[in-house]
């Protein structure tokens, strides 16, 4: 499949390593004689025709910076047939024959919609949440967990000095991985994630006992996806409850978007480069409608439809008819993926319970 021109875009929440990914797409495609254009601001750029020719100068030093130089957006208009037709029209007008779309599951839905409408597309997982079931890893997780950790380390200094506890709320949407890694690596006294039931009373007792035994500074990590019964976030409420019930002076910190920016780590740069190079090669081989996944250390393409349905299966969001058309082997493969993800979370949670200060 000899493409002359392909487009690359970043979409959904930005993630450190997206620039490294774009740069690697550019480098590998250029090497193969394929022209690359950048689509600015995710799918909004496709709709509005905001397309820029890519140059080496534009990507100078791009490996080392967070965010995305192609900008990003959440573009609801793209989900409509009208929006999609506008995007297709832009591709035709600009001579864009194929796309590489870097983002999360929403981005992959867009990529498969473009493929179905005649623009072959490949997805690359870029999100700090690591919440794409089909892949062991998404670009951005390592940087964001390390940033989270550095911030918790800072809080630990001041907590120790003032004999305080700090409840820290971290991002991750419905996935507790950022919280788990940060809690394990910082020796937090407790961690609450959306995937596991949280022993609120047991944690309060533990904190009181730790204080009684002389422990001064303490950290509790709560993932943003843990909610109160009324749908509000649990972390801040819990901080107040800890102070009220234990007498331990408790502060609350919401790290929010701070952990989404910053210089990407080696892990994120390497994964980004690796997935990008393979994605360009696959496009050139005539393959599309796949997501680049890391599975047991290897980068492999996984069918987008399979990946999206596996994701819904894991998140208990299957819709009627979702499983139709898959072979028994594929369904078994999906179930195994879901089991693997659950096991990973359970194991991390268990470790967090053991390494937390006691
Ligand atoms: P992420 O890619 O990180 O999951 P979003 O869910 O915001 O982030 O999705 C990114 C973009 O992908 C959306 O703004 C929208 O343009 C596009 N998108 C999301 N869902 C769909 C869908 N069901 N069909 C087509 N495009 C979609
Ligand atoms: O998906 C990445 C993420 O940072 C989540 O962790 C968070 O819930 C969400 O995006 C925040 O979205 P926004 O940047 O639109 O506020």
Contact 260, 171 (CB under 8 A): yes
Q: How far is C-alpha 111 from the geometric centre of its chain's CA atoms?
A: 17
Give Rg (Cα) of the chain.
22
N- to C-terminal Cα separation, the chain: 60
Rounded to an integer, the average pLDDT of 170-193 is 97
CA distance 130 to 227: 20
Q: Is 172 in the pocket of ligand 2 (CB under 6 A)?
A: yes
pLDDT digits (tens, 9 = 90+) for 196-248: 999 999 999 999 999 999 999 999 999 999 999 999 999 999 999 999 999 99
Q: Which atom belonging to ligand 2 lies closest to the Cα atom of 104?
A: 1
Kindly give the distance from the C-alpha atom of residue 108 to the centroid of ligand 1, in angstroms, as a whole number: 7
pLDDT at residue 152 in the model: 98
pLDDT at 271 over 90: yes
Task: Looking at the CA of 255, name the nearest ligand.
Answer: 2
Rounded to an integer, the average pLDDT of 67-77 is 96
Q: Is 16 in the pocket of ligand 2 (CB under 6 A)?
A: no
pLDDT at residue 281 in the model: 98
CA distance 223 to 189: 14
Q: Which helix (H) or strand (E) holds 223?
A: strand 218-223
Contact 239, 250 (CB under 8 A): yes
Sign of CA dihedral 72, 77, 78, 82: negative
Residue with tokens 């919401």: 254
- Single out the catalytic residue among 129, 136, 142, 311: 129
Sign of CA dihedral 345, 348, 354, 357: negative
Kindly give, in sequence order, each residue whose CB lies less than 8 Å from that of residue 181, ignoring residues fewer than 6 positions away.
Answer: 141, 145, 148, 149, 348
Rounded to an integer, the average pLDDT of 61-74 is 96
pLDDT at residue 1 in the model: 64
Helix 328-355 crosses helix 304-314 at what angle (to 10 degrees)? 50
Task: State how far the alpha carbon of 111 is from the alpha carbons of 1, 76, 288, in Å.
Answer: 19, 14, 9
pLDDT at 91 over 90: yes
Task: State how far the alpha carbon of 106 is from the alpha carbons of 73, 78, 200, 204, 258, in Å.
Answer: 11, 11, 33, 38, 22
Task: State how far the alpha carbon of 135 is from the alpha carbons of 50, 71, 130, 156, 163, in Å.
Answer: 30, 24, 8, 33, 41
Q: Which atom belonging to ligand 2 lies closest to the Cα atom of 257?
A: 4
**pTM > 0.85:** yes
pLDDT digits (tens, 9 = 90+) for 42-51: 999 999 999 9
Is 113 a known active-site residue? no
Residue 31 confidence class, pLDDT cut points 50, 70, 90: very high
Rounded to an integer, the average pLDDT of 55-75 is 95
Helix, strand, coil share of the chain (percent; to 5)? 50, 15, 35
pLDDT at residue 357 in the model: 59
CA distance 239 to 225: 16
Contact 69, 56 (CB under 8 A): no
pLDDT at residue 355 in the model: 85
Rounded to an integer, the average pLDDT of 127-138 is 98
pLDDT > 90: percent of the chain: 97
Write the residue with the smallest CA distance to atom 11 of ligand 2: 13
Residue with tokens 């268990």: 350
pLDDT at 358 over 60: no
pLDDT digits (tens, 9 = 90+) for 290-346: 999 999 999 999 999 999 999 999 999 999 999 999 999 999 999 999 999 999 999
Q: Is 127 in the pocket of ligand 2 (CB under 6 A)?
A: yes
Write the residue with the smallest CA distance to atom 26 of ligand 1: 110
Query: Listing from the earlier edge strand, what are the strands of the sheet with 35-39?
Result: 51-53, 35-39, 5-10, 98-103, 121-125, 290-295, 298-303
Q: Is 13 in the pocket of ligand 2 (CB under 6 A)?
A: yes
CA distance 58 to 186: 38
Rounded to an integer, the average pLDDT of 161-185 is 97
Q: Which atom belonging to ligand 1 lies closest to the Cα atom of 113?
A: 25
């Amino acid at each position: 499949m000899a493409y002359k021109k392909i487009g690359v875009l970043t979409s959904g929440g930005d993630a450190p390593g997206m620039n490294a990914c774009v740069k690697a797409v550019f480098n590998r495609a250029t090497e193969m004689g394929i022209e690359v254009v950048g689509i600015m601001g995710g799918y909004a750029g496709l709709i509005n025709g905001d397309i820029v020719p890519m140059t080496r100068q534009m990507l100078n030093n791009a490996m080392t910076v967070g965010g995305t130089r192609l900008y990003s957006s959440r573009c609801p208009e793209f989900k409509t047939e009208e929006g999609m037709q506008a995007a297709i029209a832009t591709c035709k007008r600009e001579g864009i024959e194929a796309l590489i779309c870097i983002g999360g599951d929403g981005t992959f839905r867009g990529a498969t919609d473009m493929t179905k409408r005649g623009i072959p597309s490949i997805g690359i997982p870029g999100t700090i949440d690591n919440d794409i079931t089909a892949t062991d890893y998404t670009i951005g997780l390592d940087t964001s967990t390390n940033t989270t950790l550095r911030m918790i380390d800072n809080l630990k200094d001041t907590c120790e000095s003032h004999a305080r506890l700090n409840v820290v709320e971290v991002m991750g949407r419905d996935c507790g991985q950022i919280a788990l890694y940060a809690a394990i690596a910082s020796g937090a006294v407790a961690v609450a994630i959306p995937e596991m039931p949280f022993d609120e009373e047991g944690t309060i007792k533990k904190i009181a006992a730790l204080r009684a035994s002389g422990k001064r500074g303490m950290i509790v990590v709560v993932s943003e996806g843990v909610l109160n019964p009324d749908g509000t976030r649990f972390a801040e409420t819990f901080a107040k409850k800890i102070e009220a019930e234990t007498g331990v002076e408790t502060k609350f910190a919401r790290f929010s978007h701070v952990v989404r920016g910053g210089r990407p780590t080696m892990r994120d740069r390497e994964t980004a480069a690796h997935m990008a190079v393979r994605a360009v090669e696959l496009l050139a081989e005539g393959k599309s409608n796949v997501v680049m996944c890391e599975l047991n250390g290897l980068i492999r393409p996984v069918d987008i439809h399979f990946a999206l349905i596996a994701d819904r299966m894991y998140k208990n969001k299957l819709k009627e008819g979702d499983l139709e058309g898959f072979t028994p082997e594929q369904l078994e493969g999906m179930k195994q993926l879901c089991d693997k993800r659950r096991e990973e979370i359970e194991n991390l949670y268990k470790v967090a319970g053991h390494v937390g200060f006691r």
